[in-house]
Structure 1
Amino acid sequence: MKKNQYELEWLDDVVSIQLNPDVKGSKDLSSEETNKIKQRIETEEREVLSRLKNRLFRVPDEAASRSLVKKYHDDLVLMITKNYSHLHHPAVMHSGLKELHEFIGARLHYILFLFEKELSSFLNTENLVPITELLIQKTQILERADDMRKNLATGEYGMAPVDIVMEVIEDYISKIDNRVPITLRESSYIRELMHDVLSIDGNLTSITGCDAINELLIIWNLNSKNCIRYFTTGTQMLMDSKETEEEKLAFLKLESKKLDIIPERQNFVLDPDFPSVKEYCYKWLNNEIAYRENRLEGFVPLAREEARKEMKENAFKAVVSMSVDQLSLILRALFDLRIILAKSMSAAFKAITPYLSTPLTENINWDNARTKSYVAEESDKQIVIAKLEELIRLIRSY
């Protein structure tokens, strides 16, 4: 067996190259060619899982096995997305290839079904979800969007909580529309969030005496930047309305106590790689309390001022919806093509990465990112290629 054997190589070649309308155009295949592809896919359907299992037996440890299974699972999902896009390509919709793409889509889904059934112990919520399932979820969201807005608008703070929640949901729909890879964790979060919002009725009660919808934002761990800004800005405005420093300090301490008793749903968070709403607000309140206590004593420690400055600066980083490994590939390619002009690749990475973050990494180490661009995994390359293909189609539509 070859050391770097790729068990999905033939399937990937058929979907990504042989039947890619952007590569081959709308030229029909002969009946013989079509039947040959169908027969080979049926063979792959029977054998690919067996080949992968045999390969797993040779993997030295569990972590490596999980990594390998995740790679193949996510590659299958990306193939389903590619084939779906090809199926709805104008060149295919009006050709004899439509039926073949439908056949391929059905077989890929069945392979994925077998994969998830037989190797479920190796999978987790960070695996990707097929575009076909995401489109069903999108339809369900759009059908109930007005009901969600109506339920969220029951609080005393008007449309602000509505906009925060619906922005998260709309961003999720945008990711589906733009074929951004979405994990099972993300999909499940939105599904449960939608269920909770639709369950809101007139009997919603507050835990702390504050607006119940605001408390739900904390319970849901809806840690988007706008949600964090909503709480910190709102608290700042209420604090500033107090006349004396003593009143401001007492207000902040009361808010901290209220926050402390609001529960967080376990294992439920919009972005697990950032602090929860409760954690962020708690730190913000404690910083403000310490700052004002020190003001009352007549001085402000330099370290406290620096911490407050850093919190503000971090809020203005651009978030790229890719992993650091995937982002590093794009930055390297931009440098190699001389789109980004710098004295060296190191200089390019060092200049750009401080202004970027990813959903998984707030502060990107420029040197690590540069190094990773030379040792990219195949799955990361495929994700970047899929995104760039969508980018090309989008630019052509302008």
Structure 2
Amino acid sequence: MGHEYAFDWLDQMVHELDPQRTEPERLDNYQSIAIVEKAASEKKRLILLFKQFVFREQKTRQIRNSVNHYLSAAVSLMKIANNNLNQIPTKANNFRLALESVFSCLSEVSAFIVNRYRSHVDRDISLNLVNITPDAHDLRTLGNRDAMKSNLKLSKLVTEAFSDIFSDHRGGEITMRKLDYWVSVSHAVTYPNGLLEMTTPFEQLELIMIERNFNSPLFVKYLVSKFSEGIANSEDPSSRVQALTFLQKTFNQIPVMKDIIFNNQFEDLTLTINSWFIQEINFHSERSGTVFSDLGEQTQKASKKYERKTSDKVLCNLTVDQLSIFFKAADLSNIISARSLSAIFQSVAPYLSTPHRTDISHSSLRVKSYSVEERDKSLLIDIMTRLTEQIRDL
């Protein structure tokens, strides 16, 4: 697309059709119709432009950068337009019609970009205002499927989690990551894998959600309740330990899909559930007075999975804020890759220290990555510039 800004007219209209900067009632019928017709024409022009877009950009990275540049621009403009729509006086119908046509154009063009270049879209960019409907993977319409019918309690929990995002809008921003997640769940419910049905003591829907890292706190509570009920009939602590180890072994044998997670702000489901198993097994082991040497060794290793001595760590002369920016940028540019940015932080945090922080938690890195300070960005850019010069001198 060269240096052309494809949204020039739409950008202009969004800012001109601001009820705080003009008098909405003064926009006449002729002006309104002209804007509506122009918006319809712009939609056709932009969709055609983005259809040809992939042939103009030769490198995948260039395509990805341009796709996200325009999608981010469209989302920003839609937010402004949506805010303006909420401030239009009741009687300014022409003004409202004109701005709605501009907003609709942005939403439909954005939806085209998302659908056309799905694999290039930033996984966490907000799609709330984009004209995307979840009809093709709406779990609320799949209640008659065997997986859903056989476990009504979990079916309700899963359906409500879906509705929180796509219907009630209580589950945060709609993103491509979330969209792909629920497409995967819907497909698994519609076309179940027969091999999963053989894994007892888990039901089909449970297996589907464990396989897809459904790390919702409500699902964790559901599983913990299920496991607790599973050992309730065990008469003594020793038999409860045996029952728990069987459940843990079976749980860990369920394959977990790579690069998929319900909410990347929570720990992986496997980590959370195994932590619960470790605590429960230790508790009942102490009550029974039985020594489980192999189990003790395994639980000790698991509980210390993310612990490292300071002497084993790499001292990094950056602040935690700067480290979070560095790894976030490396993830976005695909220099490093993992299931999620949170997974990257979990992997690297135990091995790093700073002059001011001996122990760095992955949660602190994650939190810092949400609110990037300009000063930290500038300092990190200076450091990377020195690094670039060092590489040239090698």
1:234-287 deviations in Å (ceiling 9; x for gaps): 323433442212111101111112112212233332124533323322332234
Amino acid at match of 2:241: L
1:267 pairs with 2:259: yes
Partners of 2:19 and 2:87 within 8 A in 1: yes
Distance 1:113 1:223, change over 3 A: closer
265-274 or 101-110, larger mean C-alpha shift: 101-110
Distance 1:189 1:256, change over 3 A: same
Match of 1:185 among 177, 196, 202: 177
1:32-91 deviations in Å (ceiling 9; x for gaps): 7658867997789979x99xx9xxx9xxxx999967863542231243355467668874
1:137 pairs with 2:130: no
Equivalence map 1:239-388=2 (5 Å):
239-295=231-287, 296=289, 363-364=363-364, 368=368, 372=372
- Quote the sequence identity (%): 16
Q: Residue 176 of structure 1: CA displacement?
A: 4.2
Match of 2:197 among 184, 195, 205: 205
Partners of 1:206 and 1:215 within 8 A in 2: no
Partners of 1:73 and 1:112 within 8 A in 2: yes
Distance 1:142 1:30, change over 3 A: farther
1:29 pairs with 2:27: yes
1:123 pairs with 2:115: no
Partners of 2:189 and 2:205 within 8 A in 1: no
1:255 aligned counterpart, secondary structure: helix
Show the counterpart of 1:73. 71
Show the counterpart of 2:99. 101
Match of 1:163 among 150, 156, 170: 156
Show the counterpart of 1:331. none
Question: Residues of 2 paired with 1:10 and 1:177: CA distance?
Answer: 34
1:14 aligned counterpart, secondary structure: helix
Question: Residues of 1 paired with 2:86 and 2:136: CA distance?
Answer: 18
Partners of 1:25 and 1:91 within 8 A in 2: no
Question: Residues of 1 paired with 2:203 and 2:370: CA distance?
Answer: 47
1:151-186 deviations in Å (ceiling 9; x for gaps): 52313xxx43123212211211356489x5321121
Question: Residues of 1 paired with 2:239 and 2:35: CA distance?
Answer: 76
Question: Residues of 2 paired with 1:140 and 1:93: CA distance?
Answer: 39
Distance 1:26 1:194, change over 3 A: farther
Partners of 1:84 and 1:105 within 8 A in 2: yes
Partners of 2:75 and 2:130 within 8 A in 1: no
Match of 2:148 among 147, 152, 159: 152
Show the counterpart of 1:14. 13
Distance 1:284 1:121, change over 3 A: closer
Which has the bigger relative contact order, CA under 8 A and spacing at least 6? 1
Partners of 1:45 and 1:107 within 8 A in 2: no
Distance 1:25 1:196, change over 3 A: farther
1:274 aligned counterpart, secondary structure: coil
Question: Residues of 2 paired with 1:371 and 1:167: CA distance?
Answer: 30
1:172 pairs with 2:169: no
Partners of 2:143 and 2:149 within 8 A in 1: no
Amino acid at match of 1:268: I
Question: Residues of 2 paired with 1:194 and 1:245: CA distance?
Answer: 40
Distance 1:262 1:25, change over 3 A: farther
Show the counterpart of 2:346. none
Show the counterpart of 2:210. 218
Amino acid at match of 1:18: E
- Which ranges of structure 2 fall in alignment gaps of 5 or more residues? 305-323, 326-360, 378-394
Amino acid at match of 2:13: V
Question: Residues of 2 paired with 1:119 and 1:204: CA distance?
Answer: 32
Partners of 2:75 and 2:127 within 8 A in 1: yes
Partners of 1:153 and 1:161 within 8 A in 2: no
Distance 1:30 1:94, change over 3 A: closer
Question: Residues of 2 paired with 1:25 and 1:83: CA distance?
Answer: 16
Amino acid at match of 1:75: A
Distance 1:223 1:172, change over 3 A: same
Question: Residues of 1 paired with 2:163 and 2:134: CA distance?
Answer: 12
Count of residues in Structure 1 that have an aligned counterpart in Structure 2: 308
Distance 1:142 1:284, change over 3 A: closer
- Which ranges of structure 1 fall in alignment gaps of 5 or more residues? 1-5, 309-323, 326-360, 378-398
Partners of 1:151 and 1:201 within 8 A in 2: no
- Measured on the aligned residues, the alpha-carbon RMSD in Å equals 5.3
Distance 1:290 1:13, change over 3 A: farther
Amino acid at match of 1:153: K
Distance 1:24 1:362, change over 3 A: farther
Show the counterpart of 1:385. none
Partners of 1:223 and 1:271 within 8 A in 2: yes
